[in-house]
Amino acid sequence: MQFRLLAKDNKTKARCGEIATNHGIIPTPAFMPVGTQATVKALTPSQLKETNAHALLCNAYHLYLRPGEDVVKKLGGLHKFMNWDGAIITDSGGYQVFSLSRLTKVTDDGVEFQSPIDGSRRFLDPEKAMDIQHSLGADIIMAFDECLPYPCEKDRVKQSMLRTVKWANRCQSAHNSEDQDLFAIVQGSVFKDIREECADRLVEMEFSGYAIGGLSVGEGNQLMNEVLEYTVPRLPTDKPRYLMGVGFPLDILDGIEHGIDMFDCVIPTRNGRNGCAFTVEGKLKIRNERYKLDERPLDEDCHCYTCKNFSRGYIRHLLTANEILGLSLMSLHNICFFEKMMEMARQSIIDGNFSEFKSNFLSLQ
C-alpha cells in the first residue's frame, strides 16, 4: 500500500489524496460501503461499481462464524469469493465480539464468547484475528482491539486501552502477509489523556495506517469532534487516517475537516432498506402517503440508475408491497449520494474551499 497526499484545504485540516492497493486506487477522503458478510445488502458488485465506490469493508468476525475463513480461502479469497475486484478492508471483529456476542469473557489473553449463530463457544485473540484476516485476503486488515460502550468508567477505559495496545503489538508480531497492510485502532472513549497515550504508543509501533475506533457509540457529534480535535494531530501525516463506523453526512464532513481520510458505515444501506433516501435537500421518507402519486425521482439532482428510471410513487409502492427491488433501488441511490458527496468534498479540497462546500451542503440537509 502507498499513500499519497494530493492537496490540503486552505482553512481546515481537510486533505485529499489516494491510497494505492493491489486492487486499485482509493481516492481520499473515501466512503466505503459495508459488505459485512461479503455482500453489500441488496446490491450486486456491478451495481456498486456504478456508484463509484472504490473500496468495501467486510467483517472478519461474521465471516469467521459463517461460512468460515477456510471456506473463503479455498474459494479464492474474498475478492474472488464475492466477485469484487476493488479494494477490500476487513475489520478484525473487535466491535462485534463485544456488541453482538453473549456471555463474553475478556482477559489479556483474548476473548471467549458464545456464537450468536449456533451458541458454540469460541475464542478470539490477536493471533487468531490475524490468521482469519490472512485467510480472507483483504488488502487492508485491522488489529484486534477492545471497543467499549459509552458511557464507561475511566478506570475501565484505561485498562481497555492498555489491553488494546498490547493486542496491537501481538497482531503486528503475528502479521506475516506481505500482500496486506495492517492498521492499528486508537481507543480511549472520550478521555483525552487516554486517547493521546493510545495514539502515541501505536504510532511508535509504525503501522501502515491508523484508525480511530470507539466513536459513534452514543457520545454524540460534539464529543466526537472533541475527540478528533486532539487525536488526529497525533497521527502521522504520511499515513491514512480511518474513522470507523461513522456514517451520517454531518459526522463525515466533520471528520474530513479534522483530516480523516477513510470512513465506513451501514447508514446508507440500512436507511435505504427502511425507506429513507438521502437527497441534496435532506432525508426523504418515501413511505409517506404524500409520495403515492409523486412522479419525481428520489433526488432531481441525482443521476444514479434509480433516479434516472423510477418515480417516488413507484419506489414507495415497492416498499409498501415488501418487494425486494425497492430495497435494492433505495440502497443503490443512497450509496451513490454518499459517493457523490465524497467526490465533491475531494474537489472542494483541491479548490481550497472545503469550508464553503461543507456549509452549503449541510444547509440543505
Whichever domain contains 146, its CATH number is 3.20.20.105
308 and 219 fall within a common domain:
no
Confidence of residue 261 (pLDDT cuts 50, 70, 90): very high
Do both 224 and 108 map to the same domain?
yes
3-class secondary structure, 171: helix
Residues 282 and 146 in one domain: no
Q: Is 145 among the catalytic positions?
A: no
Q: How confident is the model at residue 68 (pLDDT cuts 50, 70, 90)?
A: very high
pLDDT in tens, 328-358: 999 999 999 999 999 999 999 999 999 999 9
**Per-residue model confidence (pLDDT) at position 41:** 97
126, part of any domain: yes
Count CB neighbours of 145 within 10 A: 32
Q: Is residue 270 part of a domain?
A: no
pLDDT band of residue 123 (cuts 50, 70, 90) is very high
Is the model's pLDDT at 100 over the cut of 90? Answer: no
Say if 207 falls within a structural domain: yes
Q: Is residue 256's pLDDT more than 90?
A: yes
**Residues 312, 171 share a domain:** no
Give 306's contacts (C-beta < 8 A, 6+ positions apart). 297, 298, 315, 329, 330, 332, 333, 336
86 and 189 together in one domain: yes
CB contact burial 157-180 (16+ within 10 A = b; e otherwise) = bbbbbbbbbebbbbbbebbeeeeb
What would the pLDDT profile of 293-334 be if each residue is shown by its tens digit? 999 999 999 999 999 999 999 999 999 999 999 999 999 999
pTM exceeding the 0.85 threshold for the entire prediction: yes
- Report yes or no: 345 and 354 within 8 Å, Cβ to Cβ: yes
C-alpha cell at 164: 488494546
| 246 found inside a domain | yes
Residue 109 and residue 16 in one domain: yes
The mean pLDDT of the chain is: 97
pLDDT > 90? residue 6: yes
Q: How many CB atoms lie within 10 A of CB 36?
A: 18
Partnered with residue 59 across adjacent β-strands are 91
Same domain, 325 and 234: no
- Residue 200 pLDDT exceeds 80: yes
Q: Which of 9, 91, 251, 299 is catalytic?
A: 91
254 catalytic? Reply is no
Answer yes or no: do 254 and 283 share one domain.
no
Total domains, the chain: 2
Say whether both 260 and 300 belong to one domain: no
pLDDT, residue 94, reads 87
User: Is 225 in the same domain as 358?
Assistant: no
* 96 in the same domain as 210: yes
39 plus 177 within the same structural domain: yes
Residue in 145, 181, 254, 264 annotated catalytic: 264
Any idea how long the chain is? 365
Range of the domain at 22: 2-265
pLDDT of the residue at 242: 98
Give the pLDDT score at 98: 80
As a whole number of angstroms, the longest Cα–Cα distance in the chain is: 61
CA angle 338, 41, 96 (to 5 degrees): 90
Task: Average the pLDDT over 179-196 and give the result.
Answer: 98
* Cβ-based neighbours of 304, under 8 Å, separated by 6 or more: 50, 51, 332, 333, 336, 337
pLDDT at 99: 82
Domain boundary among 247, 265, 283: 265
Name the packing angle between helices 324-351 and 249-257 (round to 10°): 20
* End-of-domain residue from the set 215, 238, 265: 265
The pLDDT score that the predictor gives to residue 104 is 86
